[in-house]
């Protein structure tokens, strides 16, 4: 397909691949094929490489989530929320192309679409505290 994907579309695609991986443990490449066939989802090389890069950092990302989650241990955070948090923290930490405040905003939007209603505030709180530690908040 020749349609141009927005950054939001790419991020949502990465989220869906990561979430499917979280549920099934299947390789991202297999999941990408299945999503293209079953849902006619456009999957790009960037989505696949980003998803694999996030998966490679799960241990580190979960450590950060645990450090900033004051109310829940990482293993007690829902898979949807954990996937959203992992992606946003990865973007904030390792991507120079995505401003940290944009990563937080996009994570909250994903939470509003895919998670339970109060979860967007939980996600925003963790990411808000992490962004302050990074010194990448909008005020700086």
31 near 19, Cβ under 8 Å? no
Answer yes or no: is pLDDT of 33 > 50.
Answer: yes
The CA distance from 105 to 11, in Å, is 12
- The count of domains in the chain is 2
> In terms of domains, do 72 and 48 share one?
no
The CATH number that applies at residue 138 is 1.10.940.10
> In terms of domains, do 64 and 132 share one?
yes
pLDDT digits (tens, 9 = 90+) for 39-85: 888 999 999 999 999 999 999 999 999 999 988 899 999 999 999 99
Secondary structure (H, E, C), 31-93: HHHHHHHHHCCCCCHHHHHHHHHHHHCHHHHHHHHHHHCCCCCHHHCCHHHHHHHHHHHHHHH
> In terms of domains, do 52 and 74 share one?
no
pLDDT at residue 140, as a whole number: 40
> In terms of domains, do 135 and 70 share one?
yes
| Residue entry with tokens 């960037």 | 46
Instruction: Say what the pTM is.
Output: 0.92
> In terms of domains, do 49 and 75 share one?
no
pLDDT at residue 136, as a whole number: 73
> In terms of domains, do 52 and 64 share one?
no
> In terms of domains, do 34 and 12 share one?
yes
pLDDT digits (tens, 9 = 90+) for 88-120: 999 999 998 889 999 999 999 999 999 998 999
> In terms of domains, do 104 and 66 share one?
yes
Here the tokens at position 134 are 């990074």
**Residue 126 in 3-state DSSP?**
helix
Whole domain around residue 15: which residue ranges? Answer: 1-56
The CA distance from 11 to 8, in Å, is 5
pLDDT at residue 137, as a whole number: 67
> In terms of domains, do 94 and 30 share one?
no
pLDDT class of 38 with cuts at 50, 70, 90: confident
Cα end-to-end span (Å), the chain? 40
């Amino acid at each position: 397909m020749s349609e141009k994907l927005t950054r939001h579309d790419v991020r949502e695609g990465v989220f869906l691949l990561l979430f499917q991986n979280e549920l099934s443990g299947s390789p991202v490449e297999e999941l990408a094929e299945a999503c293209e066939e079953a849902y006619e989802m456009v999957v790009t090389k960037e989505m696949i490489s980003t998803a694999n890069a996030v998966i490679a950092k799960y241990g580190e990302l979960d450590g950060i989530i645990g450090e900033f989650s004051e109310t829940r241990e990482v293993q007690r955070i829902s898979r949807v929320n954990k996937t959203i948090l992992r992606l946003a923290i990865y973007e904030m930490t390792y991507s120079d192309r995505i401003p940290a405040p944009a990563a937080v905003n996009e994570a909250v939007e994903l939470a509003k679409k895919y998670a339970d209603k109060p979860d967007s505030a939980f996600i925003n709180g963790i990411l808000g505290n992490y962004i302050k530690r990074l010194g990448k908040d909008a005020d700086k």
